[in-house]
Chain A
Amino acid sequence: MTVALSGEEIASQIEENFPGSIVESSPKSIVVNKESLFAVASYLKTTPGLDFDYLTAITAVDYYDYFEVIYQLTSLQHNHSLVVKTRCYGRDNPTLPSVVSLWRGADFQEREIYDLFGISFDGHPNLKCIFLWEGFQGHPLRKDYL
Chain B
Amino acid sequence: MEIGDVYSSRQLDEAEGEQIESLKARSQQPIPDPDEWLEQELERNILVTSVDAILNWSRRSSLWPAICFPACCAFELIATAASRFDISRFGMEVIRASPRQGDLMITAGTLTWKMAPQVKRIYDQMPEPKWVIAMGACAISGGIFASSYSVVPGYNRIIPVDVYVPGCPPRPEALLYGIRMLQQKISKMSLVTEGR
Report how many residues on chain B are interfacial, defined by Cβ distance under 8 Å: 15
Q: Which one of B3, B114, B150 contacts A125 once the chains associate, using CB atoms below 8 Å?
A: B3
CB neighbours (8 Å) of A135 from chain B are 14, 17-18, 21
Q: Does B55 contact A (CB under 8 A)?
A: no
Contact status of A134 and B114, CB under 8 A, knowing A126-B4, A126-B7? no
Q: Does B10 contact A (CB under 8 A)?
A: yes
Q: How far is the CA of A133 from the CA of B20 in the complex (A)?
A: 8
Contact status of A128 and B10, CB under 8 A, knowing A133-B21, A134-B16? yes
Contact present for A140 and B150 (CB under 8 Å): yes
Which chain A residue lies CB-closest to B13? Answer: A134
Q: Does B90 contact A (CB under 8 A)?
A: no
Contact present for B114 and A133 (CB under 8 Å): yes
Contact present for B14 and A134 (CB under 8 Å): yes
CB neighbours (8 Å) of A145 from chain B are 149
Contact present for B17 and A136 (CB under 8 Å): yes
A103 CB to nearest chain B CB (Å): 14
Q: Which of B130-177 contact A (CB under 8 A)?
A: 149-150
CB neighbours (8 Å) of A140 from chain B are 149-150
Q: How far is the CA of A126 from the CA of B12 in the complex (A)?
A: 14
B161 CB to nearest chain A CB (Å): 24
Which chain A residue lies CB-closest to B19? Answer: A133
Contact present for A133 and B17 (CB under 8 Å): yes
B175 CB to nearest chain A CB (Å): 29
B94 CB to nearest chain A CB (Å): 34
Q: How far is the CA of A69 from the CA of B113 in the complex (A)?
A: 28
CB neighbours (8 Å) of B114 from chain A are 131-133
Q: Which one of B3, B4, B14, B150 contacts A132 once the chains associate, using CB atoms below 8 Å?
A: B150
A123 CB to nearest chain B CB (Å): 12
CB neighbours (8 Å) of A128 from chain B are 10, 13
Q: How far is the CA of A140 from the CA of B145 in the complex (A)?
A: 14
Q: How far is the CA of A119 from the CA of B108 in the complex (A)?
A: 34
Q: How far is the CA of A131 from the CA of B16 in the complex (A)?
A: 12
CB neighbours (8 Å) of B16 from chain A are 133-134
Which chain A residue lies CB-closest to B16? Answer: A133
Interface residues of A (CB under 8 A from B): 125-126, 128-129, 131-136, 138, 140, 145
> Other CB < 8 Å A-B pairs besides A125-B7, A136-B17, 15 of them?
A126-B4, A128-B13, A129-B13, A131-B150, A132-B150, A133-B13, A133-B114, A134-B10, A134-B13, A134-B14, A134-B16, A134-B17, A134-B18, A135-B14, A140-B149
**Which 3 A-B residue pairings sit nearest by Cβ, starting from the closest?**
A134-B17, A135-B17, A133-B17
